Amino acid sequence: MPNIEENLANVGARIRAAENKFARRANSVQLIAVSKTKPLSLVQQAIAAGQKVFGESYTQEAIEKKNALKDETIEWHFIGPIQSNKTRPLAENFDWIHSVDRLKIAQRLNEQRPKALGPINILLQVNISEEETKAGVAMNELQTLIESVLQMSSLKLRGLMAIPAKSIEPDEQRSAFHRMSLLLAELNEKYEISMDCLSMGMSNDLEAAVAEGATFVRIGTDIFGAREYK
């Protein structure tokens, strides 16, 4: 079994070291512990070690965990692909959704978000590497999606998310993340808005992501061990 407390400490140290190395403001990068497919017991260990922000990708599994941990102060982020028939439980249960990539999903989340909960924080997932098999809005469709989302009162557009093409080369990793950072700045200027979040970077490339402006890094393997596929 993984030593969750030790792993969290090691990942936290990597993030803080990267912030320092790349002249980022201290504590400007938030760790999302990606607990998808992991048992409740490991999530509880992470909570006991001080982790309060978790990322999930499977709707039913995530809601079961959320309900089991209802007495804990947890911030839940949905980071996986969104099926249009699963938007209601997402709208009703999550604080953040990182993977909005098409208008239909945005419209359903906006309509189904309970007014009592206030607007849900969303990020638009961008297919920054333009891979045919990768989720995310295409670059040539992004502006249309933004213009629509900005009209939706139950959605709060906070920024962008990406899962670039895999690479072990730091320069290639940084190149994709740099494009994301530039894109966020360009969109803020064009629409006179203030998106402040970039969700990018995982266990193998978090340093490159921090270097290029990530505000959220999504770490699963280096905290909970290798992924178990559903």
The two structure tokens encoding residue 111: 């309509």
Q: Which structural domain, as residue segments, surrounds residue 178?
A: 4-223
Flag whether 228 is in a domain: no
In a domain, 229, yes or no: no
Number of structural domains found in the chain: 1
What percentage of the chain carries pLDDT values higher than 70? 97
Residue 230 counted as domain residue: no
Please provide the average confidence, as pLDDT, over all residues in the chain.
94
pLDDT tens digits, one per residue of 14-59: 999 999 999 999 999 999 999 999 999 999 999 999 999 999 999 9
Quick one: tokens of 21?
């190395």
Quick check: is 36 in a domain?
yes
pTM for this one? 0.94
Provide CB contacts within 8 A for 59, sequence distance 6+: 78, 83, 86, 89, 90
CA dihedral sign, ordered 149, 152, 154, 156: positive
Matching residue, tokens 């190395």: 21
Nearest C-alpha neighbor of 48 from the set 12, 16, 95, 6: 6
59 vs 119: CA distance, rounded Å: 19
d(CA 161, CA 197): 8
CATH number for the domain including 34?
A: 3.20.20.10
Domain for residue 49, yes or no?
A: yes
Q: What pLDDT was estimated at residue 227?
A: 64
Q: Does some domain include residue 103?
A: yes
Tens digits of residue pLDDT in 109-150: 999 999 999 999 999 999 887 767 678 998 889 999 999 999
Residue the block writes with tokens 């189904």: 112
Position of tokens 């709208």? 91
Q: How far is CA 1 from CA 9, 68, 109, 162, 225, in A?
A: 16, 21, 37, 30, 8
